[in-house]
Amino acid sequence: MEDPYIPELSADEAEHLRQRRTSRPRALPRIVGESDSTGLTGVDTEGVRQAPDSIEVFQNVISVIRWGVLGLTIVLAIPDIVNGDIRLAVISSALLALTIFRKFNPIRFDHRAAGDRALVAEVVLIVGFIAVTGVWLSPFAFALATPIVVAGFARGHSYATRVAGIAALLPSALDLWLNGVNTLVAQEIVQWSLVLIVVGLVAGQARRISGEADRQHSIALSQLERLTDANSLLYSLHRVAQTLPASLDLNDVLDTTMGRLRGLFSYDAVALLIFDETDASWQVMRSEGTDLKLRLGPTMLPNPLKTAIAQNRLVDIADLSATGTIGLSKNASSGLYATLSARGQIIGLIAMEHSETGHYDERTIQMFNGFVDPVALAVDNARWFGRLRTMGADEERTRIARDLHDRIGQSMAFLAFELDRLIKGHERGDVIDEPLHRLRADVRTVIGEIRDTLSDLRTDVSDGKGFEETIEDFAARLADRSGLTIGVDMSAPARLPIMQERELWRIAQEAMVNVERHAEATTLNVKWISDGTTGVLEISDDGRGFTLGESGRIDSYGLVGMRERAASIGASMEVESAPETGTTIRCVVMAHPGRDTLAA
């Protein structure tokens, strides 16, 4: 029977705990094999787990009980001792000596037989004392309570009841032999038997209550320890999460991941591989200190990585040489190998190795586990974004074609028409000198438009060129070619994340080009405010405006595309316009949490 107060690990639980070093952690592991606060670890006759000495925690209580029982028996014996009963004086002295002896040499149950023998010897000794002093009428009869209490504290109700039965049986048999069977003797036997059994039950219950209290205390300490470990680990994982790549560019994600690996872990070799579905091979995207080729077939992977794929979990090898395994590097002695999983599929592998055997401890393994999943998500997001970006290239080509058609196509058609007209005039003998001069000026104008269009297409926000500088350069070009009076008001002590600035630039460019082509405006104002956490872009003109919601107008002015770009970066966009009152476009964006802002 399992003690309900002191849990014991099953074989499955023990095996699971052993594997925790090499599996994804679902909860913080607890170190096993330590004694709880009661010191109880073994198993007794009732299934109670015991320490090397299961009664040690109760020794102070037992000592108090011994002295209390001794005092009671001496008090009962004093009247007869005063009247000259030498036997009672001698036995009192013997009990005093026994109590002093047990104070310094208590009964121990670190070995079952030794404790049993000492307990039986004490019972027999006390039975001998009461046998020569009146059996149940002896003032020393209650001294039998002491070994029964010891039995109850040591092994619980069952053991204490058996000892109480033996302690009651021996004097009762002697009493019947000396005095025969009569009502008085029977009453004495029943009374004392019940008293001793009750003492045993009370001692066993006291042990159970004490064990429960100690168990609760142990659980509280264990929970506190786990919470402390959890707090430490969560803080470490929070640090990992804060430093994980936020970019959607795969190369940025890989570079950032390698940088964080260097900052968080110690290794001599590391590799990050991505699975290529086109030929079922593994591409080594980043590596340091390895002997790997740039592309590996399924059979060319190091064995630890094959194991990680087969088991789809983190593999911790403390000693590569002991298993005869070669990892990323021939000089490696220990390593961690994990799969990068997303959407239920293995999309990559990550591994790091060290030349020292058993280099990675439990906390490092947990840190690595916490590092792997977010990296897998970032890599998967970047790969899908790359595919979407490839698909979106068609849309961008369509936009470029529209720009070329709107600004250059019509001019080229006009030049072609003029050339045809001049050729026909020349064939008729007309003077074409002045028309040719005008055509040459038109060609120069078209060349200028081509240069402007190409400049607009190449213009973008970068790490070196911020949103403010990009807008100012574009506004200057737009003013030169359109004759618009453009006011630029910039207040940006800190930059937003570059991905947000790029989308805001495209929104601003589209809005400013719309003013040039459609608004019939004379004045254009651009305002930009950014403190690194919030950005406000406002573009207004004094043109002819339009009626909001009018069919066909919004799409023709590119507002749908601008709203899509604003939504992609979590920005809000407002459009205010009415006929003959001009148009104002306002875009407000908050920096994404966890992304670094750039100094302006």
Question: Please, which pLDDT band fits residue 33 given cuts at 50, 70 and 90?
Answer: very low
Quick one: 98 and 180 in the same domain? yes
For the chain, the distance separating the N- and C-terminal CA atoms, rounded to the nearest angstrom, is 73
The answer to whether position 51 is within a domain reads yes
For the stretch 567-576, pLDDT in tens is 878 889 998 9
**Structural domain total, the chain:** 3
- CA-based angle 546:565:519, to the nearest 5? 25
**Judgement on whether residues 158 and 31 belong to the same structural domain of the protein:** yes
Name the pTM for this structure: 0.36
H or E stretch covering 205: helix 183-243
Q: What pLDDT score was predicted for residue 256?
A: 87
Reported as a pLDDT band with limits 50, 70 and 90, residue 27 is very low
* Diameter over CA atoms, the chain: 167
pLDDT in tens, 421-436: 888 888 888 877 887 8
512 occurs within a structural domain: yes
How many angstroms separate the CA atoms of 508 and 530, rounded?
15
**Residue 284 belongs to domain spanning:** 250-388
DSSP 3-state of 226: helix
Let me know whether 216 and 336 are in one domain: no
Residue 399 lies in a domain: no
* The pLDDT of residue 16 is above 70: no
- Give a yes or no: residue 442 inside a domain: no
What is the chain's Cα-based Rg? 46
Query: Is 120 domain-assigned?
Result: yes
Residue 54: what pLDDT?
66
> Higher-confidence residue: 204 or 489?
489
Work out the mean pLDDT of the chain and round it to a whole number. 78
Q: Are 333 and 304 in contact (CB under 8 A)?
A: no
Domain's final residue, options 324, 358, 388: 388
For residue 211, tell me if it sits in a domain: yes
Among 204, 221, 238, residue at a domain's last position = 221
* CATH, residue 503: 3.30.565.10
pLDDT grade for 32, boundaries at 50, 70 and 90? very low
| Residue 516 pLDDT level (bands cut at 50, 70, 90) | confident
Residues 6+ apart with CB under 8 A from 531: 492, 493, 494
> Do 313 and 217 belong to one domain?
no
Highest mean pLDDT among 38-42, 269-273, 380-384 belongs to 269-273
Task: Give domain status of residue 69, yes or no.
Answer: yes
Domain boundary among 205, 221, 237: 221
Judgement on whether residues 62 and 146 belong to the same structural domain of the protein: yes
Over residues 237-278, the pLDDT tens digits come to 555 554 444 556 788 888 888 988 888 899 999 999 999 876
Q: Is residue 22 part of a domain?
A: yes
pLDDT at 9 over 60: no
Residues 184 and 293 in one domain: no
- In this prediction, residue 336 carries a pLDDT of 94
